[in-house]
Amino acid sequence: MTQYPLLWQILMIGCIVLWATAGDVLIASAMRNIGDLDRIRAVKGIPGAAAAVLGSPRFGLGVLCMSLSFFSMLFALSHGDLTLIGPAAASLTFVTNAIAAKFFLGENVDRRRWLAAVFVCIGVALLAH
Amino acid sequence: MNQSKLTAGQMLNLAVVTVTASCGDTFLARGMKSVGPVSIHHLGELIHAVLTPWVGAGIVVLIGFFASYLTALSWADLTYVLPATSIGYVIMELLGHFWLREYVSPWRWLGIVFITAGVGFVARGPSYTHTHQSEPEQQQIEEGQHA
């Protein structure tokens, strides 16, 4: 196995986090645009709810980004340090999602939510020890 | 900010997200351990892996996770759903310690404390806030139903 230098591993972590954040934000945006799935299911049934989700181009793009994140993770894990890449990618995604949700989804990320994202980020990183 | 509070059904949905994510990953890990390493030159072995009980069960549970995750995102913010459901990490650690008798280091206990505090912060706030986006397509669906 080729062990890449730290700079390359950081770049690989950046790729994983970038695609995962893009995927989460696109999927969240698609679901927000579609509306409450419970109410859609009550009106149009499960096939109607499934059609609403699968018919959304933004949802498809989100799934594509999540797939790219998954394959970036596989590539990184096969060439890098598992104990660095796994926890770093998992924990950083919480913070980047909070930033992206504020700017791209227009969510009101108040101090409480920033604290939650940072605490969970630190907690997930600590679980790897 | 919209002070949206969750209904009992929505809380149950978040619990399903948490439990299915943890269980799905555990089932897949358990299944892949019994299958062994899969070489890139023998990708057909992955099909065999999917047909094993643990991996198959893991996939079914993860489909349930994705469905409940999408449902949660349709009525709650991303910055609410992700931290709120991260309590699954804590559940996995506690199950490992008390059920499987695994050793949990002081660093990991500290991690559990941080995650629990993070979940506590977000759970006390609203689940949904206003966005700059257009009104949901769901209104059009309901309007179409009444027409």
| pLDDT in the model for residue A79 | 73
Residue A77 confidence (pLDDT) above 80:
no
Q: How far apart are CA A101 and CA B76, in angstroms?
A: 12
Q: What is the ipTM of this complex?
A: 0.87
pLDDT of residue B4: 64
Task: Report pLDDT for A52.
Answer: 92
Closest-CA residue in chain A for B139? A35
Mean pLDDT by 10 residues, chain B (147 residues): 72 93 82 74 76 90 93 93 89 80 88 92 83 53 52
For A124, the closest of B70, B111, B116 (CB atoms) is B111
Which residue do the tokens 């089932």 mark? B27
| Cβ-contact B69, B17 below 8 angstroms | yes
Instruction: Supply the DSSP string of A87-112, one letter for each residue.
Output: HHHHHHHHHHHHHHHHHHS-----HH
Give me the domain span that covers residue A54: 6-127
* A47 part of a folded domain: yes
Q: Which member of A32, A39, A127 has the closest CB to residue B89?
A: A127
The token pair that represents B55 in the structure block: 């991996």
Give how far B61 is from chain A: nearest CA, Å: 18
Q: Which residue has the tokens 């206003």?
A: B130
**How many Cα atoms sit within 13 Å of B35 on the Cβ side?**
24
d(CA B12, CA A118): 25
Q: Does B80 touch chain A (CB under 8 A)?
A: yes
Domain count, chain A: 1
**Within an 8 Å CB–CB cutoff, is residue A110 touching chain B?**
yes
Q: Domain map of chain B by residue range?
A: 8-130
Residue A119 lies in a domain: yes
CA distance B1 to chain A (A): 7
**In this structure, is residue A1 part of a structural domain?**
no
Q: What is the pLDDT of residue B41?
A: 72
Mean pLDDT of A23-29: 96
Burial of residue B75, with CB atoms counted within 10 A of its CB: 0-12 exposed, 13-18 middle, 19 or more buried: buried
3-state percent breakdown (helix, strand, coil) of chain A, nearest 5 = 85, 0, 15
Cβ count near A7 (within 10 Å): 8
B33 vs A: CB within 8 A: no
Burial of B52 (0-12, 13-18, 19+ CB in 10 A): middle
Residue type, A109: V
Contact present, A85 and A12 (Cβ < 8 Å): yes
Hey, is the C-beta of B113 within 8 angstroms of any chain A C-beta? yes
CA angle A67, A69, A75 (to 5 degrees): 105
Query: Band of the pLDDT at A3, cuts 50, 70, 90?
Result: low
Question: In this predicted model, what pLDDT tens digit does every residue of A34-64 receive, in sequence order?
Answer: 999 989 999 999 899 999 999 999 999 999 9
Q: What per-residue confidence (pLDDT) applies to B131?
A: 56
Cβ <8 Å between A116 and B134: no
d(CA A97, CA A20): 9
Q: How far separated are the first and last CA of chain B, in Å rounded?
A: 32
Q: Could you report the per-residue pLDDT of A85-122, keeping only the tens digit for each?
A: 888 888 899 999 999 999 999 998 999 999 999 999 99
